[in-house]
Amino acid sequence: MSETLAPARAEARSAGASPGAALSVRALAKSVPGGRQLFHDLDLSVRGGEIVAVLGESGVGKSTLLNILAGLDDPDGGEVRIGGEPVGPLDEAGRTRLRRERIGFVFQAFHILPYLTLGQNVGLPLALVRSDAHAIGERARAMLEAVGLGGRADDYARDLSGGELQRVAIARALIHEPALILADEPTGNLDPETAGRVLDLLAAAVRRTGAAAVIVTHSRATARIADRVLTLTASGLRDDTATKGDSDGR
């Protein structure tokens, strides 16, 4: 199934920064509080409409990298630009605005609010910027339908399974059609069939809206929908696109 999604967008092979890109990262460096360096001199440029998969061993710094890209964590050095706008100089309010308006983030730990309904969770990004509650509710229902949770909008999130929470998180990340989608293991809790559906949805959202997407994954199936496959190592991002067909089927 995912083979049919693999777009022939092989032209973008450069991992270097470029000023016109949807996401542009230059010379990024980050150490953990104990002093161990996770990465340094990390460059990355992602165009609108492009899906980049980031692989890498557990603990190498993938979630940390995504958090820095979203302005949730600060690098020790280097620069992140989203739609040309540098994230570093923004204060908390500026970063919040940037995330609300331009970023859809699927957290590894979901961060779904247990005492809201699924509809309220999914509609939240729109409710923060718009007031037409009825239209937001309808849109949230449509997003839930798209991730296989049709008819569940009024259920409370506290009762959901891990895979269901993951799908709510994906619907929430996409509802406001963000220019940049950052997803941390978005199919880690899903069975292969549901994972395929969710990946279809992500790929379709990217195509429809021209968003740029960075998807952290351990799954080669996810890597197959990507235009580029990069592996994060201590010495930066390595382009492994050429080997992405070497799938172990996961």
Ligand X SMILES: Nc1ncnc2c1ncn2[C@@H]1O[C@H](COP(=O)(O)OP(=O)(O)OP(=O)(O)O)[C@@H](O)[C@H]1O
* SS3 assignment for 77-113: EEEEEECCEECCCCCHHHHHHHHHHHEEEECCCCCCC
Report the distance separating Cα 88 and Cα 12, nearest Å: 26
223 binds, among Mg ion, ligand X, none (CB under 5 to 8 A by kind): none
User: CA gyration radius for the chain?
Assistant: 17
18 binds ligand X per the rule CB under 6 A: no
Site residues (CB under 6 A) for ligand X, limited to 33-52: 33-34, 38
Counting residues that bind Mg ion (by CB under 5 A) gives: 3
SS3 category, 65: helix
Write each residue from 98 to 117 as x if it is in contact with Mg ion (CB under 5 A), else as -, in one continuous string: ----------x---------
Q: Which pair of structure tokens corresponds to residue 200?
A: 């279809």
Beta strands 236-239 and 77-82 are unpaired
Instruction: Report the nearest approach of Mg ion to the CB of residue 159 (Å).
Output: 26
33 binds, among Mg ion, ligand X, none (CB under 5 to 8 A by kind): ligand X
32 binds ligand X per the rule CB under 6 A: yes
Q: Which pair of structure tokens corresponds to residue 167?
A: 């799908």
63 binds Mg ion per the rule CB under 5 A: yes
SS3 category, 246: coil
Instruction: Report the nearest approach of ligand X to the CB of residue 92 (Å).
Output: 18
- End-to-end CA distance of the chain: give it in Å, rounded: 13
89 binds, among ligand X, Mg ion, none (CB under 5 to 8 A by kind): none
Helix axes 118-127, 133-146, angle to 10 degrees: 120
Using the minimum distance from each CB to ligand X, give the nearer residue, 61 or 75: 61
Site residues (CB under 6 A) for ligand X, limited to 92-151: 108
Q: Which pair of structure tokens corresponds to residue 150?
A: 């049709």
218 binds Mg ion per the rule CB under 5 A: no
58 binds ligand X per the rule CB under 6 A: yes
Contact with ligand X (CB under 6 A) among 49, 61, 71, 125: 61
Q: Footprint of ligand X on this chain (CB under 6 A)?
A: 32-34, 38, 56, 58-64, 108
